[in-house]
Amino acid sequence: MTSRYQSLPGRAPGFTYQHSRRGLLRTKGPLVLHCEDLSMTTLAEKFGTPLYVYSGETITAHHLAFDRAFRDIHHTICYSVKANSNLSILRLLARKGCGFDVVSGGELERVMTADRRAAKRVVFSGVGKTREEITAALKAGILLFNIESESELWALAECAGRLRTKAPVAFRVNPDVAAETHPYISTGLHKHKFGVPVSEARALYAEASGVRYLRVRGVSVHIGSQITDAGPFGEAMSRVADLVRELRRDGHEIDYVDAGGGLGISYDQPPAGTFPQQVAAYAAALVKPLRDLKIHLLLEPGRSIVGPAGALLTSIVYKKSNNGKKFLIVDAAMNDLIRPALYGAFHEIIPVTLHTDQIAKSETTDIVGPVCETGDFFARDRTLPVLEEGDLLAILDAGAYGMALASNYNTRPRPAEVLVSGKSAKLIRRREKISDLLRQEL
């Protein structure tokens, strides 16, 4: 047996292969993928496929790694709700004292449903906040509005004036820092729709400070997602630190710096170092420019907390060959996990059950779904052990932007979701039915 299948580097304790036991003498059976202490075969039998499976232990451990890495600076971790907005995951993090980064009124409502007390730890980001969303956030008493344009500033002032309350504000500044990531999730350059230019920031802060119903509280920045090099984070934070000093000289009380999120995960190869080591390097890059500022640092991790904690479990429906080109057609599809189709993203895909004789045999195949699109694929020309119809596959690192981006394309019901804790599994979203999809239509 190869070491590749004996363990999953960088993913323990969430997902590991363990020998099953069978017979009265409890002899070793095949290797079976487990989420914590539960076999994925058991979960598939109980909840069906496709199925999102999350490791609660991994989510908790990754949140704790952030908390420890930034222990030398006053900070609040504001989990990025858009990565995975399931209420049970939000409740799990809220119980740990986590704050939240929201980008819509719907996400704010999810946080309020999970734990109303968490509102005071919410930052509201996004370029298109409506007046209805702003009003709801003001009534909830959130921590901070990250303002992305002058027009938004006046909309916020108008809403706060109607409620006769003061809105806490930070401008999201665009530092014009390049980061090596997919162009769709890069946000820190002047050509992107996000933030205001650093060169215009002082004038905007001066305007905000003169408005009765606004209170300047901080500076915000976010340069993109899935960034694995700490260098750009440090560069952006150096520019923010310079701006904070200028704003304080101008007389503004800057209490918060929101560093955004964006720390990436390793989808296609074992990560360099443990997760706590990766977060420590990220923390060192952020904190160094801020050491003498005595500020409260806000962080918005999302993918790095929930990404490795989730897997999409799917069953092989058919095997097919077209002139020697092999396909495994599975019951999950691009509507369940769109990242490969949308970004060309890589996800490791592994068999749930491995017999000794299987490991020595392999084949190169495409793993595809049933949607009527050539873009409906999870992997192309992937080498796997020889598998059969009915076998289970696990698509790893699917905890972030999996279910959050799922749709009902082709009138396909979305999967169920399960949260595992040790030997117990909790159904945290029921599988949709066709009747659920038709109910809202007239």
> To 10 degrees, the CA torsion angle through 210, 212, 215, 220?
-60
Give every CB contact of residue 94 below 8 A, 6+ residues apart in sequence: 100, 111, 114, 115, 117, 118
User: Considering all CA atoms of the chain, what is the largest pairwise distance in Å, rounded to the nearest integer?
Assistant: 79
Rounded CA-CA distance 183/350 in Å is 28
Across 4-143, the runs of DSSP E, i.e. the strands, are 15-22, 27-35, 38-39, 51-55, 75-80, 99-102, 122-124
Catalytic residue among 78, 98, 159, 372: 372
Residue 272 DSSP code: S
Rounded CA-CA distance 341/7 in Å is 28
Strands 362-368 and 377-385: antiparallel
Contact between 153 and 214 (Cβ < 8 Å): yes
Catalytic residue at 98?
A: no
Comparing C-alpha atoms, which of 101, 61, 23, 4 is closest to residue 274? 61
Q: At what angle do helices 105-114 and 87-95 cross, to 10 degrees?
A: 60
**Catalytic residue numbers, as ranges:** 372
